[in-house]
Amino acid sequence: MIQIHYFTFSPIQENTYILWDETKEAVIIDPGCLAQYEKEELADFIEDNQLSVKYLLQTHAHLDHVFGSAFVKRKFGVQMYMHKNEVPILADVENRCKLWGIKGYEPVEADVFIDETSIISFGNSTLEVRFVPGHAPGHLAFVNHQQKFIIGGDVLFRGSVGRTDFPYCNHQDLINSIHQQFLILDDEYKVYAGHGPATSIGQERNTNPFF
């Protein structure tokens, strides 16, 4: 049984997810911790729950999702996994931080490129990878079918969808991704978003103005 905990970090209010199961093996997804106290909060949680971090996974590489990636790699000795299409996005994060006046970002590089059809395993659990470009060119979502949830990043929000006014975004790709990869799932699938509260496929299918 997978347990999910999230922190909302940085002035951008990004949701950082920690998933683990009965084996105590864990994955960290999109570590957005920027301030030192946020990094300590994340590390304390891992320590207090005696978790062993196996992977650092990225839904995508926008600045708010990688603020703490270098820290997580170093602190837990793990490799950073993302889609190869995110390489130019990640390479631009330092510039974007300067542009936005954000201090404290430690540059980071990915170690492993996630294939669009991979299954990520930790402990007794698995996450199916879904390729959902649009908000970012190599955006991935992580789906668990046993417990019916999606770690969806910045694709689908409660009542909204991801922004597409950044470089490398494409609105039509985003809408197609949601239709082809998210809306084909049952109503009960819970969606944990990169910002704001969780929602469900059913709720968004019925009430989201974008569909």
Hunting for tokens 């929000």 — which residue is that? Answer: 157
E strand or H helix at 18, and its extent? strand 14-20
Task: Let me know how long the chain is.
Answer: 211
d(CA 79, CA 77): 7
Residue with smaller CB distance to Zn ion, 54 or 83: 83
Amino acid at 138: G
Interface stretch with Zn ion, choices 19-27, 59-67, 87-95, 98-106 (CB under 5 A): 59-67
**Segment interacting with Zn ion (CB under 5 A) among 109-117, 122-130, 143-151, 153-161:** 153-161
Map residues 16-55 to x or -, x wherever contact with Zn ion holds by CB under 5 A.
----------------------------------------
3-state secondary structure (DSSP) of residue 37: helix
Q: Write out the binding residues for Zn ion, residues 85-144 only, by CB under 5 A.
A: none
CA 70/CA 31 separation, integer angstroms: 9
111/109 Cα distance (integer angstroms)? 6
Min dist CB 22 to Zn ion, Å, is 30
Question: Least distance to Zn ion from the beta carbon of 195, Å?
Answer: 6
Q: Stretches 34-42, 98-106, 170-178, 187-195: which one binds Zn ion (CB under 5 A)?
A: 187-195
Contact 103, 1 (CB under 8 A): no
Between 126 and 208, CB nearer to Zn ion: 208
Q: Which of 54, 62, 73, 130 binds Zn ion (CB under 5 A)?
A: 62
Residue 178 in 3-state DSSP? helix
Minimum distance from residue 163 beta carbon to Zn ion (Å): 7
Q: Are 153 and 140 in contact (CB under 8 A)?
A: yes
194 binds Zn ion (CB under 5 A): yes
25 or 38: CB nearest Zn ion? 38
Nearer residue to Zn ion within complex by CB, 16 or 144: 16
Q: Which residue of this chain has its Cβ atom nearest to Zn ion in the complex? A: 62
In the chain, alpha helices (H): 36-48, 63-66, 69-76, 87-91, 93-100, 171-177, 201-207
Q: Which two tokens stand for residue 58?
A: 């990225």
Confirm or reject binding of residue 64 to Zn ion (CB under 5 A): yes
Contact residues toward Zn ion (CB under 5 A) are 62, 64, 154, 194
